Amino acid sequence: MKIKVNDKTIEIFAGARVEDALRKYSPAEWALVRNKEKKVSDRCGHEVGLDGELAEGEELVITAGSRPSRPASRRILIALLGLFALASCRTFPPASSAGRIVIFHSNDVHARIDNFAKVKAILDAERRTGAEVFFFSAGDNFSGNPVVDRYDPPGEPMLELLDLLDVDVLSIGNHEFDYGMEILGRLTSRFRTVSANMEAPPGVLPGLKPWVVLSARGGVNIAVFGVIQVERDSGLPSTHPDKLKGLRFSEPLAKALEMKALRPAAQVLIGLTHIGHDQDLLLARRMPELDVIIGGHSHTRVDKAEKVNGVLVAQAGANNLFLGRVDLWVKNGRVVKKKGRLIDLGKERREDAAVKAAIAEFQRNPALARVVVRAPHEISDKNNLGSLMTDAIREVNGLDVAFQNNGGIRLNRLPLEITLNDIYTLDPFGNPIVEIVMTPAEIRGLIKASFEKDSKIDLQVSGLTYAVRTDEANRVGEIRLRLPDGSPPAEDRTYKVGINSYIASAYRFAHQDPGRSLQTTVADDLIKYLESGADLSIYRDLRRAIWEDPPAAPRRRIG
């Protein structure tokens, strides 16, 4: 897919995150953003998280200072296009006061549960004022914290905490599928869950609805519908396709526009979306019937919710660092005033004791000590560990070749009893696996780029072996590839290659196929590979990548 960074168009793999785009755009700029010397924002100047998920056509701006500013050329371009007009970033003028409804909201929590005790304290304090209070979630509550991800059953701590928080409505995010349909069914059966552009077979996701209507005091009906993002090429959300079997999805904006039919029966109409901030702005431009859009997916930090075509658009960043708050004043059956802002949970000191105790109990997660497999011997050395990791990537995802960079191998050895904690220590970064269809020449280009970073072997491999030959100045002269049977790969065919997203975005190598995220990590694949009964006896004294010395100079004949 194509996106823009500082007005430069770059092509990157489908399912890429903000940090992947920054690495590909400029390693130096990426380092400045990572070290908080610069910020990355969207076209309206809202700071976005590095783990925010990108979609085709999005624009990022790297800036310095506390309030990012758009270049003059970008301001002119936006004004001319009129798609996301400067009105998208205006504040809402004051309006007359009336009966007040308060909606707190979160999105893209990704299993970060620590701040939920603060969220509960804030909700209860507002409820004690007598205000009409609701709590919404705009998707992606799952995936991102082993305490939750590897609980038995997976995700249960999140479900119990959402119950303690009295969440009113949730929309489905693409990472809600990561634990499988059974676990997602537990979510939809326990909470009001909305997603209008997905259909499930009867009984698969009990309780899932396109929309719900909440009742507030004074006979006020609040209609809330959900939509989930889909990738342009596949028509599916950004998760592993195997997790979506039996489900059908439609284009989210088109389906959202059908929700105009809810307007006559509701005094308040809200889109609880998981499509990204850019798409939320576009929806607001096309659907002025909406009162509010509360969004997710792009991890956009909208400190002050903005009015777009009369619609208030809000999003609360990611990872449970902020809690969104939207205030609505309803008078004579319509919203007469609305505003929204974020609450920085890092600055909050109040905590609910019961929720805090529940979180502490969940964090004593015995599941991480679970023995996944008992190996015949300890597996040590990066050649053996890297071979194990790449074998797992290749086998689990049905690939031809897989690579793993040495810098991503963060453990020196795996013990005889390999636990979940060992696996997450070996692969702590959780970078998704990217599949790229490559020719042998492109594979050599990747190996060459990796070797030239530090003039040494950097990539562990599965599905082939390789040898790098250099001259006396360590310049790469030849890279020889061999398939497992010892034969060279066919130069006129392509191979499905798996690499992590760090390699895909940070290494400079030519490849015609931009690739696609498989929405799985090395740790995920290792668990499946080890549990499948893989033969671990082979991971001893392996060496699939070789740096050959330069050929000796021919002896000068004397006489």
Q: Which two tokens stand for residue 206?
A: 């009990």
pLDDT score of 92: 30
User: Nearest-CA neighbor of 291 among 310, 315, 264?
Assistant: 310
4 burial class (0-12, 13-18, 19+ CB within 10 angstroms)?
middle
Domains 2-81 and 370-548 share a fold: no
Superfamily of domain 93-363: Metallo-dependent phosphatases (3.60.21.10)
pLDDT tens across 33-50, in order? 988 899 999 988 899 999
Q: Give me the pLDDT at residue 481, please.
A: 98
Please give the CATH superfamily to which domain 370-548 belongs.
5'-Nucleotidase, C-terminal domain (3.90.780.10)
CA-to-CA distance for 549 and 471, rounded, in angstroms? 8
Alpha helices (H) along 311-401: 353-363, 382-397
Domain ranges in the chain are 2-81, 93-363, 370-548
Query: Can you give the pLDDT at residue 98?
Result: 54
Residue whose token pair is 């076209």:
43
Q: Distance between terminal CA atoms of the chain?
A: 66
- In order, the DSSP letters of 127-148 are HTTT-EEEEEE-S--SSS-HHH
At residue 153, what are phi and psi to the nearest 5 degrees? Answer: -80, 160
**Residues forming beta bridges with residue 221, ordered by sequence position:** 215
CA dihedral of 209, 213, 215, 221, whole degrees rounded to 10: 170
357 within 8 A of 363, measured Cβ to Cβ: no
Distance CA 391, CA 204 (A): 34
Residue type for position 137? S
Contact 266, 285 (CB under 8 A): no
Q: Which CATH homologous superfamily contains domain 2-81?
A: Beta-grasp domain (3.10.20.30)
DSSP, res 429? S
Q: What is the pLDDT of residues 138-165, one digit of tens each?
A: 999 999 899 999 898 999 999 999 999 9
Is this model's pTM higher than 0.95 or not? Answer: no
295 three-state secondary structure: coil
- List the chain residues with pLDDT less than 50: 66-97, 553-559
- For position 30, what pLDDT does the model report? 87
CA distance 434 to 487: 26
Task: Retrieve residue 371's tokens.
Answer: 């023995």
